[in-house]
Amino acid sequence: MFGNLGFTEILLIVGVITLLFGAKRIPEIAKGIGKGIHDFKKEIKSIEESTK
C-alpha cells in the first residue's frame, strides 16, 4: 500500500502530521479519510455494476 516507503519515511510522515494537526485530531482525521476511501470504493463498485 505504501509503495517503496520504508519504516523511517512512514514514521517521519506520521511525526509531521502529528505536529501539524495535534495528537487529539489524528483519530478524527483518520476516520474521515477511512470514510472517504470507503465511499469512493462503494461508488466505483456501483458504477461498475451499472455498466454491466
Containing structural domain, residue 52: 23-52
Over residues 1-52, the pLDDT tens digits come to 557 878 899 889 888 988 988 888 888 888 998 999 999 999 999 999 988 7
- The cell numbers describing 2, all together, are 505504501
| DSSP codes, 1-52 | --TT--HHHHHHHHHHHHHHH-TTTHHHHHHHHHHHHHHHHHHHHHHHHHT-
Query: Residue 7 domain-assigned?
Result: no
The total number of structural domains in the chain stands at 1
Measured in whole angstroms, the distance separating CA 32 from the mean position of its chain's CA atoms is 8
Residue 1 falls inside a structural domain: no
Residue 27 lies inside a defined structural domain of this protein: yes
pLDDT of res. 37: 92
Q: Does 8 reside within a domain?
A: no
Whole-structure pTM over 0.85, yes or no? no
